[in-house]
Amino acid sequence: MTDYPNFHDRDGMIWFDGALVPWREANVHVLTHALHYASSVFEGQRAYAGEVFRLSDHSARLRRSAELLGFEIPWSVAEIDEGCRDVLRANGLTDAYMRPIAWRGSEQMGVSAQKTKIHLAIAAWEWGAYFGEEAIRKGVRLDISKWRRPAPYTAPTESKAAGLYMICTLARHEAQAKGFDDAMMFDWRGQVAEGTGANAFFIRDGRIHTPTPDCFLNGITRQTVIDLARRRGIEVVERAIWPEELESFEQFFLTGSAAEVTPVASAGPWNFEVGDLTLQLRKDYIDLANRRLSNA
């Protein structure tokens, strides 16, 4: 995965509470509620050929994530969409990764946050393949994390909330320290869940299996890939998947706005091939995102 150091010290413009401001001036106070209590939500989305793929879906999910955390973003889906387009234009970007983020401000300190102002910022930058180009050919290597996705009755798991990614960072750091690219996470029941920031798909005998997203995000890329597979007449089964099944699968891939469609070579003791169906679905996804594949 390519590193981009010094995210605080770059040229460019960031959309901040309705206006474009210089990158280095897009700052918040140290007593911002979100910094202390993780009261923030975000999106990860990519622009291809100057357009953000499924932009309104991302903007709508951002607003829904905030609602699940008990606050309302004071910009509509259409206004967020336009802010995203403004950021691309202002920075002269056509192919880019984009990060909208909404958070509670610094007007109140403590667990309660009813008096805080809600902020929204949107940044974008050039970002190639999430795991690097070589990963597309060879597949990524995943550790099996000791951290598990929480039960939906313990956290707002349908929200793309910043706080839910703390265990993802822990899992990924531990995996990378062991020489892996990333980690696969199980859920609180011990079922296969996802990667640290991407949904999981498995292939066996030409059929695709994917965990039911009942305690992690039903990703927008995930939904897109399911639709692409079904267009090709491929059966997609959403169900509980247990670790003991993993040795029976031939292929494994991850999906996400950052990861797009990335093959997996191994997960813990289980090995997989970078197969034709995985690569075809990756091509279909990239073509659709670049509007080279019909949306029909």
208-228, pLDDT tens digit by residue?
A: 999 999 999 999 999 999 999
For residue 174, the 8-state DSSP code is H
Cα-flanking dihedrals φ and ψ of residue 153, to 5°? -90, 5
pLDDT digits (tens, 9 = 90+) for 67-123: 999 999 999 999 999 999 999 999 999 999 999 999 999 999 999 999 999 999 999
Q: Say if residue 98 is in the same domain as residue 231.
A: no
Say if residue 118 is in the same domain as residue 34: yes
Largest CA distance in the chain: 57
pTM: 0.94
For residue 48, the cross-strand partners are: 51
Mapped onto helix, strand or coil, the DSSP state of residue 58 is helix
More confident residue, 284 or 291: 284
Q: Looking at the predicted structure, is the pLDDT value of residue 5 above 80?
A: no
DSSP state of 161: B
Burial 207-239 (b: 16+ CB within 10 A, else e): ebbbbebbbbbebbbbebbbebbeeeebeeeee
Q: What is the mean pLDDT of the chain?
A: 95
Q: Which residues contact 279 (CB under 8 A, 6 or more apart)?
A: 263
CA–CA distance, 129 with 151 (Å, rounded to integer): 31
Residue 296 lies in a domain: no
pLDDT tens, residue by residue, 9-38: 999 999 999 999 999 999 999 999 999 999
Q: What is the pLDDT of residue 52?
A: 97
117 and 222 share one domain: no
Q: Say if residue 243's pLDDT is above 90.
A: yes
Amino acid 151 reads A
At residue 133, the 3 state secondary structure works out as helix
Q: Which residues does 163 contact at the CB level (< 8 Å), separation at least 6?
A: 38, 155
User: Is 117 an active-site residue?
Assistant: no
In a domain, residue 249? The reply is: yes
Question: What pLDDT shows up at residue 2?
Answer: 47
Is the Cβ–Cβ distance between 203 and 190 less than 8 Å?
A: no
pLDDT tens figures, 195-212: 999 999 999 999 999 999
Question: Which of 115, 117, 160, 283 does the annotation list as catalytic?
Answer: 160
Going by pLDDT thresholds of 50, 70 and 90, the confidence category of residue 129 is confident
Residue 256: what residue type? G
Question: Are residues 105 and 144 both part of a single domain?
Answer: no
Taking only the tens place, the pLDDT of each residue in 90-100 is 999 999 999 99
Looking at 61, 94, 125, the residue that finishes a domain is: 125
